[in-house]
Amino acid sequence: MKLRRWIAAGAVAVATAAVLTSPATAGRPYDPTDQSLRNLALRHGLAVGTAVDLAALNDPADPRYRELAASEFSTVTAENAMKWESLEPTRGTYNWGPADELVTFARQHDQRVRGHVLVWHNQLPAWLTNGVADGSISTAELRDILRRHITNVVTHFKGRIWQWDVVNEAVSDPWDTPSTLHYKGFWAEHLGPGYIADAFRWARAADPHALLFYNDYNIEAFGSRDPANDKTQFVYDMAKQLRAKGVPIDGIGSQGHLGTQYGNFDTFQVVEALRKFAGLGLATAFTEVDVRSQLTEGVQAGNEAEINPRLQAAAANFDVLLQACLAERHCLSFTVWGFTDKHSWVPGWFTDPPEGMATIYDENYQPKRAYQALKADLIYSGPPYVLPRIPQRPRR
Ligand code: 9MR
Average pLDDT over residues 356-367: 98
**What is the per-residue pLDDT for 1?**
29
Kindly state which CATH superfamily the domain 37-380 is placed in.
Glycosidases (3.20.20.80)
**What is the per-residue pLDDT for 202?**
98
Strands 355-356 and 283-294: antiparallel
Question: 235-264: per-residue pLDDT in tens?
Answer: 999 999 999 999 999 999 999 999 999 999
Give the distance from CA 169 to its chain's centroid.
Answer: 12
User: For a substitution probing ligand 1, which of 85, 171, 216, 288 has the most ligand atoms within 8 Å of its CB?
Assistant: 288
Q: For residue 286, report the phi and psi dihedrals to the nearest 5 degrees.
A: -90, 125
Q: How far is the CA of 51 from the centre of ligand 1 (A)?
A: 10
Question: 285-313: per-residue pLDDT in tens?
Answer: 999 999 999 999 999 999 999 999 999 99
Q: Which residues contact 324 (CB under 8 A, 6 or more apart)?
A: 267, 270, 271, 274, 331
Q: Does the beta carbon of 288 sit less than 6 angstroms from any atom of ligand 1?
A: yes
Which stretches within the chain are classed as H helix?
Answer: 2-21, 37-42, 54-57, 63-71, 84-87, 97-108, 126-133, 139-156, 185-191, 195-206, 231-244, 267-279, 297-300, 304-327, 346-349, 369-380
Q: Is the pLDDT of residue 339 over 80?
A: yes
The band of 195, judged by pLDDT with boundaries at 50, 70 and 90, is very high
From 169, 220, 328, 355, active-site residue: 169
Instruction: Quickly list DSSP for 50-63.
Output: EEE-HHHHT-TT-H
Measure the CA dihedral 335/338/341/342, to 10°: 160
Strands 331-336 and 283-294: parallel
| Atom number of ligand 1 nearest to Cα 217 | 17
Average pLDDT over residues 3-26: 39
Q: Does the beta carbon of 345 sit less than 6 angstroms from any atom of ligand 1?
A: yes
Average pLDDT over residues 167-173: 98
Closest CA to 289 of 317, 266, 263, 309: 317
User: For a substitution probing ligand 1, which of 76, 122, 340 has the most ligand atoms within 8 Å of its CB?
Assistant: 122
**What average pLDDT does the chain have?**
94
**What is the per-residue pLDDT for 2?**
37
| Atom number of ligand 1 nearest to Cα 116 | 15
| Atom number of ligand 1 nearest to Cα 53 | 4
Average pLDDT over residues 362-371: 98
Q: Which residues contact 117 (CB under 8 A, 6 or more apart)?
A: 82, 83, 165, 166, 168, 215
Q: Which residues contact 153 (CB under 8 A, 6 or more apart)?
A: 82, 87, 115, 118
Domain assignments of the chain as residue spans, ordered by start: 37-380
Q: Give the separation between CA 111 and CA 23, rounded to whole angstroms.
A: 12
Q: Is the pLDDT of residue 330 over 70?
A: yes
**CA atoms within 13 A of residue 336's CA, in its CB half-sphere:** 31
**What is the per-residue pLDDT for 200?**
98
Residue nearest to atom 16 of ligand 1 (CA): 168
Question: 92-138: per-residue pLDDT in tens?
Answer: 999 999 999 999 999 999 999 999 999 999 999 999 999 999 999 99
Respond yes or no: is residue 169 known to be catalytic: yes
pTM for this model (two decimals): 0.94
In SS3 terms, 285-336 reads as EEEEEEEEEECCHHHHCCCHHHHHHHHHHHHHHHHHHHHHHHHCCCEEEEEE
Closest CA to 253 of 298, 284, 212: 284
Respond yes or no: is residue 288 known to be catalytic: yes
Buried residues in 156-179 as b, exposed as e (16+ CB within 10 A): bbeebbbbbbbbbbbbbeeeeeee
Average pLDDT over residues 160-172: 98
**Residue scoring higher pLDDT (54 or 17):** 54
